[in-house]
Amino acid sequence: MVGQPQCDAVRQQEPTEREHSGHRTSAAPHSRFGVVRVTSSEPDVLYPGGYAAVTARASPVESYLARTGTLPYNDAAHRGYDEMTGTTGALLPGWADLAAELDAIGGSGLGALTDQVERLLEDDGVTYTPVTGDRDAPPAPEEPWRLDPLPVVVEDTEWARLQAGLIQRSTLLDLVLTDLYGPGQLIENGLLPPELVFQHPDYLRPAHGIRIPGAHQLFFHAVDVCRAATGEFQVFGDRTQAPSGAGYAMANRRVVSRVLPDVFRRSAPRGLAAFFHTMRSALASVAPDQTENPRVMVLTPGTHSETAFDQAMLASLLGVPLVQSADLTIRRGRLWMRSMGRFEPVDVVVRRVDASWSDPLDLRPSSRLGVVGLTEACRRGTVTVVNTIGSGVLENSGLAPLMPKLARAILGETLKLPSLPTFWCGNPAERSHVLANLDEMVLRPAGRGRSLLPALMSRAERDEWRARLEAEPTAWVGQSAAPFSEAPMATPDGLMPGQVSLRLFTVAHGSGYVAMPGSLGRVQQTQQTGGRGGTSVAKDVWVRSGRADSADRMDGRVWLYEGPLVAPERLEVASSPRVLEDMFWLGRYAERAEDLTRLLTVTRERVEEFRFRPQHPGAGCVPVLLSAVTEVSGTPEPAAGAEPLPRIRDLMVDAATEGTVAQSLSGLREAARAVRDQLSGDTWMVLGATDRAITELADASGDVGGLALSSTQAGVLSSMLALSGLASENMVRDPGWYFMDLGRRLERAQQLTTMLRATLTRAHSSAVDSLVVESVLAAAESSVTYRRRYRGRIQIATMLELLLLDAGNPRSLAYQVGQARADLRALPDSSGTSRPQRRLEDLEGRLRRVRPADLVDADAAGRLTELRQFLDDVYGALRGVAEAVEGQHFWHPAAMQALQTGSAAGTGQEPA
């Protein structure tokens, strides 16, 4: 269900700053374009860090533009291009609206802006999962996505040039790819050095013979660009394996458009949604044999993949299911998805599993992320996988220096979008250049792996690397380490410069390529110290639309479809056993978190009530409830004499212990991530609020009077209610929903049974029992009904009537059993007599026959043995149902193994 992290990173250029070499002492005056008045006095006081002094009154934009620069190259000749002012020093027209807004917000408002962005990202559940690199290590936890509120603005004339260069690049690389896995002319004719291709880890020999329908073999292409000091765009990397980031770009846009609504409206950047519609139709067009209504899916390595969010976002933008390898299988040379006991054909797969991991038969045998036989199916053309298996060979940084020659030879054109100066060490002249200028280079492997910065190495290390470049020249590439352009970032200290790069996207469509009119921007704060700089932060990228009413303004709109009536996708299409199981656990964890929070809440209230009145006759209810907490949560017995409130707090926040609320919430989040494409976006808002409530409590030190505890309990409870509201009002009733509900019903029934068993099967004093019953009713959310129905008179038998048998009480056991049966009946493959259904029926019969009055007699030792027996039986029956559901619906494949290859080819030696 959950894969190992293995996927294309949103990899990035290493930061390029070096030792700080001083400050420029005289700042040239910057004039501002129109909007904001020019102050007569330029700041002349410098902070040690090199930023112009910021006074409370000063406009943040002015201060930013007056900065002296933070790079070591502070003279104009070395300073990077400035996105805001270009090479002129004056504010560029596209930035005017944004600059005005920033000045209106003021320096102090920038912090609030970044907070707002953080909050919205959390509500949208936008995350990034760092990859530890160690396959055996437990998966790293996901981290919040980081986004700067300020967009990078690209003028329309610049965009037009950039777009033409991009499309040319995609067209060229497509032809290279087609040749590499086809005729091989480029190598044969000496246009491509053979080492560059044959040695590349993503040149995959089993991919020979794969040819997807349509005009192109390169389907989806991402290009990383930066700007030279002249403002010229330069490519520093291609992503062709399984490009990531388009989903993030859309997530960025959604957040930035909400935090800067006025500027967004005025600037009206070109929309991104149309790109995904183009991609959707492009995907349909590459389906095998002109399949009508082809089934398209996004194949993800799983929720621990580095860019799991991006994959789910892409699936949702394309409107297609997100699947994992366990959902798919090859039969009769075709790809199928397991769905409710049947196999549904799959026509097109958007592959987000790296190619070498995508088929244990013909590629990496140890992979658990792939589909056995997928390569064979691709070669036969029964399924289209994009990007094609083998496309990663184009991510070869050694291709960069060859691009101008290839453009001339293959397209008969001049290369429109140059590369950042790049030198392949396999070529002796280029290698000498790299060796002679090692300090100005970023060293990049031609294959996979990290980049290195010789400028930051010791002399000995540099010498080692020189020797290595000489020893394995064909494996290394040197790329200019010149600084990228700078754009402002919002920080609590005002606007700070950061170095910008853009990841641009194209998709093959019809006979050409279509570019996304926007980008995943990334910015790295230009550090004042040397060192490698921090992590990068994303930026939205606004491509200005030339004319206010151009056709572009219609971007992102889908007009009424005028074709024939569209046949709906069958709902069960996205119901693989893996999805159903995740939905089931989603329901269970949500209910578990809710039920334990309710019990912990009533327990806390009792603890507080009797804290200073230990002699009160009712005080004995506290230990009863505390031991119920232990039994219901299944957590370890606390130490004797442990303070109750800290324990209750721990049971809320301690995610490391099995059975706590925090642990259920993390299970809930994990399940939700695995079925992100099935859930409404609001789910993440709710989960975000839950996380905040838990974090608040975890961070609260010395929680006097338990205020933080009670507020967190209220917060978690209201989030769980919101979640069940979403489930009941906002989700389509498909098999996934029924399994989620089934999980919730079985969990609630088990929790209730355990709670009753822990609180009521031993008689206490009348005072204690009456308080316990009240608390149990409160924890089962049935107090009001009980008071009304039984006129406030507390009896165990009547309480059992309401909590066990009243089919009209949505918190009762009978109700859960009835709903669980209804859920199973509603499944498309329901037979009415399946094992789980029969077991539920038995339980229902049992409930019909029992009379609460017969259960509540205590023996001489105060034990209610009949009740105990009954609740034990019910609990056992519920477990049986859950196991039967698992056995019938959640398919777990047998362990996959490689066939032993006796290798060591026999004797093979001539007898002497």
Partner 1 sequence: MTRRYRIEHSTVYRYPAEVGTSFGRGYLRPRDTPGQRCLQHSLTVHPQPSDLAHDVDAYGNGNAYFHITDAHTELQVIGRSDVEVTPQALDPQATGLPWERARPAGVDPAAVEFTLPSPLVTMPAPIRQYADRSFTPGRPLLDAVIDLTHRIFTEFTYQFGATSVSSTVVDVLESRAGVCQDFAHLAVGSMRSVGLACRYVSGYLATHPPPGQQRLVGADASHAWAAVRMPDGGWLGFDPTNDTLADERYTVLAWGRDYDDVAPLRGVIYTDSKTSTMDVAVDVAPLD
- Give the DSSP letter string of 592-608: HHHHHHHHHHHHHHHHH
Count CA atoms within 13 Å of residue 559 on its CB side. 4
Residues 432 and 405: beta-carbon distance below 8 Å: no
**905 is an interface residue for partner 1 by CB under 8 A:** yes
Strands 348-351 and 384-386: parallel
Phi then psi for residue 402, to 5 deg, are -90, -10
Q: CA-to-CA distance for 602 and 776, rounded, in angstroms?
A: 8
Which is closer to partner 1, CB of 184 or CB of 880? 184
Tell whether residue 911 is a contact of partner 1 (CB under 8 A).
yes
CB of 68 to partner 1, least distance (A): 51
Taking the complex as a whole, the smallest distance from the CB of residue 912 to partner 1 amounts, in Å, to 10
Does residue 202 interact with partner 1 by CB under 8 A?
A: no
Cα 151 to the center of its chain, rounded Å:
22
Query: Closer CB to partner 1, residue 402 or residue 504?
Result: 402
Is position 292 an interface residue for partner 1 (rule: CB under 8 A)?
no
Binding residue count for partner 1, defined by CB under 8 A: 44
**162-201 mask for partner 1 (x: CB under 8 A)?**
----------------------x--xx-x---xx--xx--
Give the CA distances from residue 522 to residues 252, 421, 525, in Å, rounded to whole numbers and listed in that order.
11, 20, 10
Query: Does position 429 bind partner 1 by CB under 8 A?
Result: no
Q: Which is nearer to partner 1, 373 or 483 (CB)?
A: 373
Sole binder of partner 1 in the list 46, 140, 372, 858 (CB under 8 A): 372
Q: In what helix (H) or strand (E) does residue 322 lie, and over which residues does it extend?
A: strand 322-323
- Out of 429, 548, 565, 899, name the contact with partner 1 by CB under 8 A: 899
Rounded Cα–Cα distance for residues 748 and 820 (Å): 11
> Is residue 886 a contact point for partner 1 (CB under 8 A)?
no
| Residue 898 lies near partner 1 (rule: CB under 8 A) | yes
Among 330, 477, 580, 813, binds partner 1 (CB under 8 A): 330
Q: How far is the CB of 907 from partner 1 (least distance, A)?
A: 5
From residue 592 to residue 621, what is the string marking binding to partner 1 with x (rule CB under 8 A)?
------------------------------
Among 14, 155, 376, 631, binds partner 1 (CB under 8 A): 376
Judged by CB under 8 A, the residue of 109, 365, 620, 828 near partner 1 is 365
Would you count residue 563 as binding partner 1 (CB under 8 A)?
no
Span from 146-154, 519-527, 603-611, 898-906 in contact with partner 1 (CB under 8 A) = 898-906
Q: How far is the CB of 3 from partner 1 (least distance, A)?
A: 17
- Report DSSP letters for 4-37, one per residue: PP-S-----PPP---------SSPPPPP--SSSP
Longest dimension (CA), the chain: 103
Site for partner 1 (CB under 8 A): which residue of 294, 360, 445, 587?
360
Q: Which residues contact 142 (CB under 8 A, 6 or more apart)?
A: 127, 128, 129, 308, 309, 673
Contacts of 139 (CB under 8 A, 6+ apart): 2, 4, 5, 129, 132, 304
Pair of tokens at residue 857: 């007699």
Answer yes or no whether residue 361 interacts with partner 1 by CB under 8 A.
Answer: yes
Interactions with partner 1, residue window 105-144 (CB under 8 A): none
Question: What's the min distance (Å) between Cβ of 580 and partner 1?
Answer: 20
Say whether residue 341 binds partner 1 (CB under 8 A).
no
Does 844 bind partner 1 (CB under 8 A)? Our answer is no
Q: Which of 893, 742, 684, 508 is nearest to 120 (CA)?
A: 684
Question: DSSP code of 803?
Answer: I
From candidates 80, 206, 243, 418, binder to partner 1 by CB under 8 A: 206
Q: Which one, of 4, 667, 582, lies nearest residue 300 by Cα?
A: 4
Please report, in angstroms and rounded to a whole number, the separation of the first and last CA atoms in the chain: 56
Of 332 and 791, which CB lies nearer to partner 1 in the complex structure? 332
Q: Of these, 37, 78, 331, 532, which contacts partner 1 (CB under 8 A)?
A: 331
Shortest spacing between CB 906 and partner 1, in angstroms: 2
Taking a C-beta distance cutoff of 8 angstroms, is the pair 92, 85 a contact?
yes
Q: How many CA atoms lie within 13 A of 579 on its CB side?
A: 29
Angle value at C-alpha 71, between 69 and 72, nearest 5 degrees: 115
Residue 362 sits in the site that holds partner 1 (CB under 8 A): yes
Among positions 57, 332, 788, 849, the unique one binding partner 1 when judged by CB under 8 A:
332
Q: Which of 135, 208, 611, 851 binds partner 1 (CB under 8 A)?
A: 208
- Interacting residues with partner 1 (CB under 8 A): 184, 187-188, 190, 194-195, 198-199, 205-206, 208-209, 330-333, 360-362, 365, 372-373, 376, 379-380, 893-911
